[in-house]
């Protein structure tokens, strides 16, 4: 019983680690693509606008894109950027969920180990 339970916990931990690694890689890839899209979309050569676009990507702030860059981007570019930011936010949620799942599986594994250690020690 305990071996199958620990195997299940290992499986959950390994899956959550794999999801974290894949989502982290994919988020990095998508952030690069979004930065390229921002740079291609921006008509203004002002570096402060470019810095703002970096902040918006980091914060995943779709409202900030529309407020601060709306007048400087074509509507089609604005829609593409908003879709990109939505995608990045969803990926962030996936990565956060995998971290929580991993942490929970490690906690359960430690609890099971302590339980069986105490059970063995007391008997």
pLDDT in tens for each of the 123 residues of the chain?
467 877 887 888 888 888 888 888 888 888 887 777 776 666 556 666 666 667 777 767 767 777 776 677 777 877 888 888 888 888 888 888 888 888 888 888 888 878 878 877 777
Hey, what are 40's tokens?
Answer: 């291609």
- Given this model, what pLDDT does residue 1 score? 47
Query: How many angstroms separate the CA atoms of 107 and 13, rounded?
Result: 10
**Placement of tokens 């970096």 in the chain:** 54
Distance CA 11, CA 17 (A): 10
Residue 99 structure tokens: 């971290």
Instruction: Report how far Cα 110 is from the mean position of its chain's Cα atoms.
Output: 26
DSSP letter string over 12-40?
Answer: HHHHHHHHHHHHHHHHHHHHHHHHHHHHH
Three-class DSSP category at 43 = coil
Query: Do 92 and 34 contact (CB within 8 A), yes or no?
Result: no
Query: What pLDDT score does 43 carry?
Result: 59
């Amino acid at each position: 019983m305990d071996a199958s339970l620990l195997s299940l916990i290992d499986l959950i931990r390994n899956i959550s680690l794999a999801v974290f690694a894949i989502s982290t890689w994919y988020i990095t890839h998508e952030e690069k693509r979004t930065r390229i899209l921002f740079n291609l979309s921006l008509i203004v050569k002002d570096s402060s606008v470019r810095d703002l676009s970096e902040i918006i990507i980091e914060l995943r702030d779709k409202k900030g894109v529309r407020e601060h860059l709306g007048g400087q981007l074509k509507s089609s570019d604005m829609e593409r950027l908003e879709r990109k930011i939505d995608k990045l936010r969803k990926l962030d949620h996936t990565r956060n969920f995998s971290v929580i799942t991993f942490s929970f599986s490690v906690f359960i594994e430690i609890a099971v180990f302590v339980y069986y250690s105490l059970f063995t020690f007391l008997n």
